[in-house]
Amino acid sequence: MIEFRSVRKEYDNGTVAVHDLSLSVREGSITVLVGPSGCGKTTLMRMVNRMIEPTSGTVLVGGADVRRSDPARLRRGIGYVIQQAGLFPHRTVLDNVATVPVLSGTPRRAARTRAAELLELVGLPQELGGRYPAQLSGGQQQRVGVARALAADPPVLLMDEPFSAVDPVVREGLQDELLRLQDELGKTVLFVTHDIDEAVRLGEKVAVLRQGGHLAQYAAPDDLLAGPADDFVTSFVGRDRGYRRLSFVTADGIRPQPAPTVHIGQEVGRAEEWVLALDGADRPRGWVAPGAVVDGALDEDSLVAGGSLYTENAPLRGALDAALSAPSGLGVVVDAEGRYVGVVTAEHVLDVIEDHRRPVREGQS
């Protein structure tokens, strides 16, 4: 849908902002450009809607060279969202959203009706429509910015650090909203951020750029975290990438093992090793410690509290949490109804992660 072919941008002062970069963005996906400040993200993005012209190379949108499109027409098919939303301060929220459709000939009433629908779509209450941007919170302003970019129903959305100015909690809400919108609308989104967490959360694919506008790696989040292409990417994605990556790896390959179990109310005698206690519905209640001697029927007071439980098929992060938090070192795996299935060790979880490592798809695709 969007393709950069050997694109280079050298500014008049000699700064090379983008260096011979090739990249293609799949239709209907969210692709993220991530990298430190000044690495050329904004420059690259603005070449898509011709706010900046490349020094050499070609940018294609929907298979057509953007140089052959009239800039005004091109921009009608490309929504653009920036940090601080860039709203018109003297227009109401509703009129901000309706502006572009009105400019392109939609009758004002129809444009306002559509604008009201869009506010709802981005999760804003209708009554905000009559307010001015300064009367909204930062997060609300960003939502208006997204609604405005969607107003002309463009197939492509460019988003340049749209959520960077809002606090982390609000930002997560906005990210969720974008993922939901994307599910619903299937736009092609090119999203710029300097935040690797945001990049891996949102991107179907993530392009990591480094200073001078070099493409360091272009890969799915999972592959990026599993196999950084070089030292730059390694340090950029951070040392905790192994752990972060667990959120993406599903649990195929996890083989829960049987552990010794006992039911509450049964006789244990002396426990030789860690024994998992279950209730009448086979739900884990805690552990009997090795060496513990239980007189008569086992009751809950004799148990050592268990760690977190891992529900089958959830992301592997939960399995590692379960193993690391259990007094026995055995993470308890349960089914969807909370019934005991088996146990896993942290080593086993880490082995499964190793097995999941696939060859990294690098460079262009």
Ligand X SMILES: Nc1ncnc2c1ncn2[C@@H]1O[C@H](COP(=O)(O)OP(=O)(O)O)[C@@H](O)[C@H]1O
Residue 18 Cβ vs ligand X, minimum distance, rounded to whole Å: 7
Determine the 3-state secondary structure of 331 from DSSP. Answer: strand
Residue 252 Cβ vs ligand X, minimum distance, rounded to whole Å: 37
| CA atoms of 95 and 97, how far apart (whole Å) | 5
| CA atoms of 21 and 364, how far apart (whole Å) | 9
Count H helices, E strands: the chain?
12, 18
User: Which range, of 32-40, 53-61, 295-303, 309-317, touches ligand X by CB under 6 A?
Assistant: 32-40
Contact 87, 96 (CB under 8 A): yes
Q: Which is nearer to ligand X, 82 or 150 (by Cβ)?
A: 82
Picking from 84, 73, 82, 50, the residue whose alpha carbon sits closest to that of residue 191 is 82
User: Which range, of 14-22, 34-42, 46-54, 112-120, touches Mg ion by CB under 5 A?
Assistant: 34-42
Residue 43 in contact with Mg ion, rule: CB under 5 A: no
Q: Which two tokens stand for residue 242?
A: 């192994």
Residue 44 Cβ vs ligand X, minimum distance, rounded to whole Å: 7
Longest CA pairwise span in the chain (Å): 86
Residue 119 Cβ vs Mg ion, minimum distance, rounded to whole Å: 27
Category of 142 on φ-ψ map: left (φ > 0), alpha (ψ -120 to 50) or beta:
alpha
The one among 31, 42, 193, 345 contacting Mg ion by CB under 5 A? 42
Binding-site residue total for Mg ion (CB under 5 A)?
Answer: 1
Q: Which is nearer to ligand X, 100 or 190 (by Cβ)?
A: 190
Residue 42 in contact with ligand X, rule: CB under 6 A: yes
- Provide the 8-state DSSP code for 305: P
Among Mg ion, ligand X, none, partner that 11 touches (CB below 5 to 8 angstroms by kind): ligand X
Determine the 3-state secondary structure of 66 from DSSP. Answer: helix
User: Cα-flanking dihedrals φ and ψ of residue 278, to 5°?
Assistant: -120, 155
Residue found by looking up tokens 């929907």 in the block: 62
Interface positions, 3-22, toward ligand X (CB under 6 A): 11, 13, 15, 17
Residue 326 Cβ vs ligand X, minimum distance, rounded to whole Å: 44
The one among 1, 21, 39, 226 contacting ligand X by CB under 6 A? 39
Q: Which two tokens stand for residue 77?
A: 């098919």
Residue 158 Cβ vs Mg ion, minimum distance, rounded to whole Å: 12
Q: Which is nearer to ligand X, 13 or 127 (by Cβ)?
A: 13
Residue 149 Cβ vs Mg ion, minimum distance, rounded to whole Å: 17
Among ligand X, Mg ion, none, partner that 133 touches (CB below 5 to 8 angstroms by kind): none
Among Mg ion, ligand X, none, partner that 15 touches (CB below 5 to 8 angstroms by kind): ligand X
Residue 360 in contact with ligand X, rule: CB under 6 A: no
| CA atoms of 37 and 53, how far apart (whole Å) | 21
Residue 32 in contact with ligand X, rule: CB under 6 A: no
Residue 38 in contact with ligand X, rule: CB under 6 A: yes
Element of type H or E holding 191: strand 188-193
Contact 250, 313 (CB under 8 A): yes
Among ligand X, Mg ion, none, partner that 88 touches (CB below 5 to 8 angstroms by kind): none
Residues 6+ away with beta carbon under 8 Å from 160: 41, 42, 45, 80, 81, 82, 83, 192
Q: Which is nearer to ligand X, 40 or 342 (by Cβ)?
A: 40
Residue 201 in contact with ligand X, rule: CB under 6 A: no
Give CA separation, 26 vs 3, 68, 278, in Å: 9, 21, 49
Residue 11 Cβ vs ligand X, minimum distance, rounded to whole Å: 3
Give the CA count within 13 Å in the CB-facing half-sphere of 360: 18
Residues that bind ligand X (CB under 6 A): 11, 13, 15, 17, 35, 37-43
Residues that bind Mg ion (CB under 5 A): 42
